[in-house]
Amino acid sequence: MGALTMFRPQRERDRIRRFSEPATAITRNALASALASARSAYPNEFGGLLRLTGPRLIGELLLLPGTTAGRRHANFQLWMLPADVAIVGTVHSHPSGAVHPSEADLQLFRHWGRRHLILGYPYSERDWLAYDGNGRTIPLTVVDGPRPVAPPAPPRDRAGR
């Protein structure tokens, strides 16, 4: 009894630990698809979820079932949240162009999630800000793809010498 828990492989424990660290970066693709969704929802708001695809790296955008794009507010149905430790926060758009959180946004941020993006019209690649769970702006680096987890192996001598 309890052996499975006791002998959970070290790499699995490492994976869980690393995925519990707050994100510091987002892939260009994930950001671009969020901005594209915001543009297509305009003049309504768009809402989605941010998912990690690597340690500290947001690389996936999820549309939450039941999230309605209202003219004034994207309503997050958080009770429909999938049980997924890699989902770390929310993204939504502001057709007004403002990228600061509303009072309702701050309540949402404090309630759940550690990373939140607000996208402001006209949704260019600079029209957004990232916030932590307390509604404070945080830097989020845009990267071209998943960063390597370990340094790449040295090139092998193809001639076998």
Positions marked catalytic = 45
CA gap 89, 114 in Å, rounded: 6
Task: Tell me the three state secondary structure of residue 21.
Answer: coil
Report in angstroms the alpha-carbon separations of 55 from 25, 26, 79, 150: 9, 11, 26, 11
Give the shortest CB-156-to-Zn ion separation in angstroms.
Answer: 51
Give the shortest CB-131-to-Zn ion separation in angstroms.
Answer: 10
Of the candidate spans 22-30, 95-103, 119-127, 128-136, the one that interacts with Zn ion by CB under 5 A turns out to be 95-103
Of the candidate spans 5-13, 19-27, 99-107, 133-141, the one that interacts with Zn ion by CB under 5 A turns out to be 99-107
**Closer CB to Zn ion, residue 54 or residue 116?**
116
Number of residue whose CB is nearest Zn ion: 105
CA gap 33, 140 in Å, rounded: 16
Q: How many other C-beta atoms lie within 10 A of the C-beta of residue 44?
A: 17
Which residues 101-130 are close enough to bind Zn ion by CB under 5 A? 102, 105
User: Does 38 engage in binding with Zn ion (CB under 5 A)?
Assistant: no
**Closer CB to Zn ion, residue 38 or residue 57?**
38
CA gap 133, 67 in Å, rounded: 20
**Closer CB to Zn ion, residue 60 or residue 105?**
105
**Nearest in space to 87 (alpha carbons), one of 55, 62, 121:** 62
Give the shortest CB-148-to-Zn ion separation in angstroms.
Answer: 35
Question: Where along the sequence are the contacts to Zn ion (CB under 5 A)?
Answer: 102, 105
